Structure 1
């Protein structure tokens, strides 16, 4: 009768037992490609920071940072120049807020319908159709806002005091339509990932489909929904063509969405294609505004990451 030790030696030497296989070359290549793909985004971000910091630092060596952040008049190319960036920030936030008021209810409503109410055939048809909106060039959205939405608002506005030709309302409305697919698609994916056992348990307790959708599925998918909304906000903050065409090019610190406004991205686009001497203060305003926009987006994403981690649900 053989001892256990002898049995283990025989088993370890037997070719029939499983052994740790050697890594294959194909797996190594795939791993290298994945690491390279992840490094591209990191290096791109680092490159953007490196490109922004030196010109922005030189700009703030000439212009007081406090006046830049708190000033209410933006006219860097006039004499005397004024570098108060609040009109650009206010225009950006106004258009983004209007876009969110349009996109969040419609996007989440579409996500709830596709995830909880639509059957498989309807979902397979409507989700690609919804995502087609994300593929339309933004310049088309801009002209649509200028030539279709603004005249429509002017015709139906009570009292005849409708929006100006260039206004934040039409730009924000069309931008909201543009980011609906982003919010709806990501939110629907998060809701579909919620285990069906949670739904079955709620139905077994007598809950209606609406109660299951709003009180079970929605809270369980909250982290993914927050991420979808944050991605939509980032898309709205960085949009250029819609606001450049439909919102106007006049810096205007106002709470009236019927007036024309200029956003940070619209200013960067307008100044970037202008005839500004390289190294001048007017030229460096592009990098100062870009750095501020980058910082705003970074802070928003850091806050969103914290919220996602706080409300994340993990299911086995």
Structure 2
């Protein structure tokens, strides 16, 4: 049984448990809800959670562990002489999985029987069989690959049956035990609230553990990179020239210069426009105008970044060339091509406008109305009230919003790829092409490079450095907001 239908069955059993648990509690109370310790829905929820949670836990754990265990068992069947390193073994295991998938499809479609499938021994016969069911295998099918594929298919079938039996069994046991324990005196509400509190704690812990996992996944590969390449040359080198054939110069300064240069231009666009829009929406716009303008402005936040990148490539870049190019309207020769720092910065700034505007609007609205009324009562005009009362009170939060927007700008990729070019250089010219850290990470991990080479591992060092910088900006933003935020009654 597939995991999807198994999930549906567990859901159906838990829904049945809710109905029966509620009915059993009411029956035990003689139909009088006042005799129950908890509300009837708590009794149903107790049976439902006792059925659902164990079953889903077993299902998820099995789906995570099954591929790991199967791959370990199948890897033991591959001769050591068939591969040179871990990458070669992974390619062979990928072929094994594809062959097993093709054999399973051939049997399920009736192209071949199970007995005939077990009798196959020729790689050419297997290739033709797989081609008939639409499964392509890139390399020659060896005898050990075919044997491993048959073993993989057989073990997968057994694992699926065990998963089905264990998941349904655990769910049914929880269903029976919880339903049997249901009575009018049972403390169902306490149990349900404890389970819900535990689930909330688990969700919060999962978020923290995910962050820790990301850090460690970057950290170990970063350490491996610095074993192969000097840290001083990486952090202080002024030349970025990776060469997968050897002799690479991996100085990170040009990449970070491009990253910060583009981000600064983006913030110069986004902060004034976003802040002024927030002031207008919160202080001047009427309810109807605000109800129309704020959602319309926030539509920009929902546009995919690839669309912004295409906008930079096809519209903004050519427009800037027509102004600042050799044959442009201004008669200057500053911009040779559409891909430049200013192109990516302008478009990224437009993308950040709703981010700055929405956060600033919420922060300004959080300033108590009593402060505005007091200022106006003392004779100040609305504009003076905004400048001298509202903005100073909201300034810490606005600064935090700007720093969060800066973190968002630093991590952007697609706009830079399509709008800024790929030149790693230290240049003050905003009309020159440059690149950023994120685009180089994508570039270094794309292709068939040896994963153990410094040219590939440098992507993790770049990612770790960028993570530390953005984390620092976020921490600074939180410190500013918490330290200088005024508490109002």
Residues of 1 paired with 2:308 and 2:220: CA distance? 35
1:214-253 matches, cutoff 5 A: 214-253=387-426
TM-score by length of 1: 0.89
Residues of 2 paired with 1:54 and 1:74: CA distance? 23
Contact 1:153-1:162 within 8 A present in 2 as well? no
Q: What SS does the corresponding residue of 1:61 show, helix, strand or coil?
A: helix
> For each residue in 1:1-29, what CA deviation from the matched residue of structure 2 results, as whole angstroms up to 9, or x when unmatched?
xxxxxxxxxxxxxxxxxxxx996555445
Residues of 2 paired with 1:34 and 1:229: CA distance? 31
Residues of 2 paired with 1:182 and 1:43: CA distance? 27
Residues of 2 paired with 1:221 and 1:230: CA distance? 15
Residues of 2 paired with 1:111 and 1:285: CA distance? 41
Aligned to 1:102: 269
Aligned residues: 296
Residues of 2 paired with 1:33 and 1:126: CA distance? 39
Q: Which runs of 5+ in 1 are unaligned?
A: 1-20
Contact 1:155-1:162 within 8 A present in 2 as well? no
Residues of 2 paired with 1:97 and 1:30: CA distance? 45
Aligned to 1:70: 236
Structure 1 position 310 matched with structure 2 position 489: no
> For each residue in 1:249-278, what CA deviation from the matched residue of structure 2 results, as whole angstroms up to 9, or x when unmatched?
121111111111110001112222222221
Aligned with 2:215 (options 22, 42, 49):
49
* Pairwise CA distance, 1:213: 1.3
Aligned with 1:197 (options 343, 355, 370):
370
Q: Structure 1 residues 218 and 36 mapped into 2: Cα distance closer, same or farther (>3 Å)?
A: farther
Structure 1 position 60 matched with structure 2 position 226: yes
Larger radius of gyration: 2
Aligned to 1:294: 467
Aligned to 2:341: 168
Q: What SS does the corresponding residue of 1:275 show, helix, strand or coil?
A: coil
Contact 1:154-1:161 within 8 A present in 2 as well? no
Residues of 2 paired with 1:43 and 1:161: CA distance? 53
Contact 1:227-1:308 within 8 A present in 2 as well? yes
* Pairwise CA distance, 1:315: 0.8
Aligned to 2:431: 258
Q: What SS does the corresponding residue of 2:243 show, helix, strand or coil?
A: coil
Residues of 1 paired with 2:430 and 2:300: CA distance? 24
Contact 1:142-1:246 within 8 A present in 2 as well? yes
Structure 1 position 159 matched with structure 2 position 331: yes
* Pairwise CA distance, 1:199: 0.4
Aligned to 1:272: 445
Structure 1 position 132 matched with structure 2 position 299: yes
* Pairwise CA distance, 1:302: 2.2
* Pairwise CA distance, 1:34: 3.5
Contact 1:154-1:160 within 8 A present in 2 as well? no
* Pairwise CA distance, 1:95: 0.5
* Pairwise CA distance, 1:298: 1.7
Contact 2:241-2:249 within 8 A present in 1 as well? yes
CA RMSD, aligned part only?
1.8
Aligned to 1:209: 382
Aligned to 2:311: 144
Aligned with 1:122 (options 274, 284, 289):
289
Aligned to 2:206: 40
* Pairwise CA distance, 1:33: 4.2
Q: What SS does the corresponding residue of 2:316 show, helix, strand or coil?
A: helix
Residues of 2 paired with 1:31 and 1:313: CA distance? 32
Residues of 1 paired with 2:192 and 2:415: CA distance? 45
